[in-house]
Structure 1
Amino acid sequence: MTTAYWCLLVAIFLPYLFTVLAKFRGDFGPKQNHNPREFLEALQGARKRAHWAQQNSFEVTPAFLAAVLVAQTLGTMPQSTLDSLAIAWLISRVVFGICYIADWATLRSLVWFAGMGIIAAMFIMSA
């Protein structure tokens, strides 16, 4: 299996890192686990932003999955390039989450655009 494929697995589970930071940070477990959506919406500060980072991660992950699968299937991009782009995208998502939780809005937006640029590059370089 290629590194890019392994990155798909990491990308699928990465949003849950932010879920853990939202739900479990600073205490021993989620409050109101019978109503987790209400609980998450009631959070404030860094925990609320971790929840938003989780939501954004779930929104953008399908585009990354599609880009990797298209690039891998077409096979027109060197595998090392695709692997590097996939790793770069994962790094951008971790940095995005850090920026979101830290409330660095401008840097967060720049990192988000970089991640979207990586996705576009995968499609364009595969054409």
Structure 2
Amino acid sequence: MTFARFTIAYWCVLIMALLPIVCAAIAKYGMMGTTRREGGFDNHDPRGWLARQTDWRGRANAAQANTFEALPFFFAAVIIAHQLQAGQTQLDILALLFVVLRIAYVMMYIADLAKARSAIWALGLLINIGILFSGYR
């Protein structure tokens, strides 16, 4: 019996899958112990509660949504690069760079640094395109 090696790029897929959950946790931070009447987190209507948040909580929720939007392309790019037998070191470095950029993106989003956030988003997109084509021959 053989087992497929779980590459660093595949670990990055897992990290990226968990990043939206981290964004949601940031948006909810400090509100779990507050009652609904006092504006605390409403587990009966979590999406509605998150949609009503403003300032940094609202931006953390927006970062969550954008992170979910980035997942399909990243997942597909990593899988396709593996199928095309991309150089593993190059693929791992690009995937790690993408994860670091997405974490920085979330931080810039929450901090309301819009220009930096947009620049990081664009760089992340270019890295993702690089991942997709890393196995192209």
Q: TM-score, normalised by structure 1?
A: 0.94
1:1-127 equivalent positions in 2, closer than 5 A: 1-23=6-28, 25-29=29-33, 31-75=41-85, 77-127=86-136
Counterpart-to-counterpart distance in 2, 1:103 and 1:10: 23
* 1:54-94 CA distance string (max 9 Å, x none): 0000001110000000001110x210000000000000110
Point out where structure 2 has 5 or more consecutive residues left out of the alignment. Answer: 1-5, 34-39
Q: Which amino acid aligns with 1:10?
A: I
* 1:15-65 CA distance string (max 9 Å, x none): 111000011x23344611101111011111000000000000000111000
Point out where structure 1 has 5 or more consecutive residues left out of the alignment. Answer: none
Q: Which amino acid aligns with 2:92?
A: D
Q: Which residue of 1 aligns with 2:3?
A: none
Which has the larger helix fraction? Answer: 1
Q: Which amino acid aligns with 1:26?
A: G
Report how many aligned residue pairs link the two structures: 125
Identity in percent = 38
Counterpart-to-counterpart distance in 2, 1:28 and 1:39: 12
* 1:95-114 CA distance string (max 9 Å, x none): 00000000000000000001
- Does structure 1 retain, via aligned residues, the 8 Å contact 2:87–2:135? no
Computing the radius of gyration over CA atoms, which structure comes out larger, 1 or 2? 2
Aligned partner of residue 17 in structure 1, secondary structure? helix
